[in-house]
Copies of this chain bind each other. A is one copy, B any other.
Amino acid sequence: MLSNSSKYAIKAVLFLAIHSNNKRVMVKDISDPINVPQAYLAKLLQPLVKEELVSSVRGPKGGFYLNEENLNHSVIDIIRVIDGEEKLNSCMLSLEKCNEEKPCPLHNMLVVSRKNILNNLENRTIKELALAVEKGNAFLPL
């Protein structure tokens, strides 16, 4: 469902949410702790900046950070930018999108859970998720 790229991107954003408190942090200092190749992450961050899910400034003392607006985005926004809408809505059996009218044999045993997951990815904000980590209720993997 999620590509490595999306996983990387989500981890990076969560890391920023937790560790940059309006402070700028450079790629290297994100990629190292979350264990993602630096140049690869740098590339992933570009579209996120362009879509205003992440903020950045160039030059010395520059780096990446999240402003209030960024913090109120949802995980699904990140997935949309990195993997695209199609992947997100694709049917469990076909390459095309999930079809309510002509459900595949797996559809009915999945719809509810699927919808639930999508709703959560849509509604929980980055800020909320980061809070859970700060409270010790969740952990950033790897």
Tell me the complex Cα distance, A108–B140, Å: 13
Q: Are A103 and B139 in contact (CB under 8 A)?
A: yes
A133 at the interface (CB under 8 A from B): yes
Tell me the complex Cα distance, A130–B105, Å: 7
CB distance from A49 to the nearest CB of B (A): 21
Q: Are B114 and A132 in contact (CB under 8 A)?
A: no
Interface residues of A (CB under 8 A from B): 1-2, 4, 7, 10-11, 14, 75, 91-96, 99, 102-110, 112-114, 116-117, 120-121, 124, 129-130, 132-133, 137-142
Q: Which 7 A-B pairs have the closest CB atoms?
A: A1-B1, A113-B113, A94-B141, A109-B120, A105-B129, A105-B138, A102-B139
Tell me the complex Cα distance, A137–B7, Å: 35
Q: Which residues of B contact A113 (CB under 8 A)?
A: 112-114, 116-117
Which of these, B2, B94, B95, B103, contacts A138 with CB under 8 Å?
B103
CB distance from A13 to the nearest CB of B (A): 10
